[in-house]
Amino acid sequence: MTTTAVTRPAAKPDLEEEQASLVQRILVGVFVAVPMLALIAAIPFAWGWGLGWHDVIIALALYWGTGLGVTVGYHRYFTHSSFKAKPGLRVGLAIAGSLAMQGPVITWVSDHRRHHKYSDREGDPHSPWRYGDDAKALTKGLLWAHMVWLFDPNQTSQEKFAPDLLADRKIKVVDDLFGPMVAVTLLLPALIGGLWGMSWHGAITAFFWAGLVRVTLLHHVTWSINSICHTFGNTEFEARDKSRNVSWLAVASFGESWHNLHHADPTCARHGALKGQFDPSARVIWFFEKLGWAYDVRWPDAVRLSTKRPEAATRSLGGWTKQRFAKEQDTAGIRTSDNAVNPADKAAA
């Protein structure tokens, strides 16, 4: 009896065959440099011409809206499937994330999924430990992880790391419209500021503060998760990489800087699972869940997290953590489900 060998398809490469073109790298430079120059000019600009409350309100609203588009949308939803979303919310999150001007949704997700596959090892697109662990190498690595990696001509394979998004027609349309969305995120503040103040002065200051400066601040906060949160800070959970918690970044990053738990349990919808860890992104997901727009949310589970904590850990889990429990019901003699939620913990949430 003869046997036929089974031929398995070759594994897809991590990188695209074609490198990023010179035009693409120039565009990345423009997206990074122009807002950054605006931030450098911000102090003398404000001192000599003024910063109004209209500018502050517009900037904060867009910072929160687009920032949450990245943290809740690009990151926790599209990259890690921390929850499921109704079609309208799915498209809305892709649009909100695109308005943060951090790249098209499929590109962003592909890079981040590759980051998790190789975190702080060879193949990680933006590890600060890329060049070694001495002072000189780490300084160079921090610069690479923070923003220099954006200019790497090697592109993550979308076919390998984001085939689900490539197959989603609506998300592909949003991805293809990234260019026009860049124009929207920069010009919309000017339109709002001009109409609010009924002046060209209001349009120009809003464009500067709520457009350029707002985009730059959000860029650097996001990039700090790649650089600072893989170098400095503390750990509360066991992870296979050098991910750290940086508390002072929690507000500006919408809870993303509780990075150690995220790498220990990537699909968890709440990154700040310990008591006192402020996580605005998780609250937004909770709000979507209450509205019925999000469902099957992967909230932190006490039993699952306990297996990832070192024995010396003393900080208690927060009130949002789901407790799985085994309780004998005397009247019925039935054991509660292993996945049930403790009513006391549900009330605490």
Q: pLDDT (tens digit, 9 = 90+) per residue, 72-126?
A: 999 999 999 999 999 999 999 999 999 999 999 999 999 999 999 999 999 999 9
Distance of alpha carbon 63 from alpha carbon 322, whole angstroms: 31
Q: For 231-274, what is each residue's pLDDT tens digit? A: 888 899 999 999 999 999 999 999 999 999 999 999 999 999 99
Cβ burial of 18 (10 Å; 0-12, 13-18, 19+) is exposed
Phi and psi at residue 85, to the nearest 5°: -130, 145
Name the token pair of 150: 């954006």
Contact 69, 97 (CB under 8 A): yes
User: In this prediction, what percent of the chain has a pLDDT beyond 70?
Assistant: 77
Q: Burial letters for 42-66: b for 16+ Cβ neighbours within 10 Å, e otherwise?
A: beebeeeeebbebbeebbeebbeeb
Q: Would you list the DSSP string of 281-332?
A: HHHHHHHHHHHTSEES----BHHHHHTTS-TT--PPBPTTSB-----B-TTT
Q: For 9-30, what is each residue's pLDDT tens digit? A: 556 665 555 555 565 455 545 5
Is 6's pLDDT higher than 70?
no
pTM of the model: 0.82
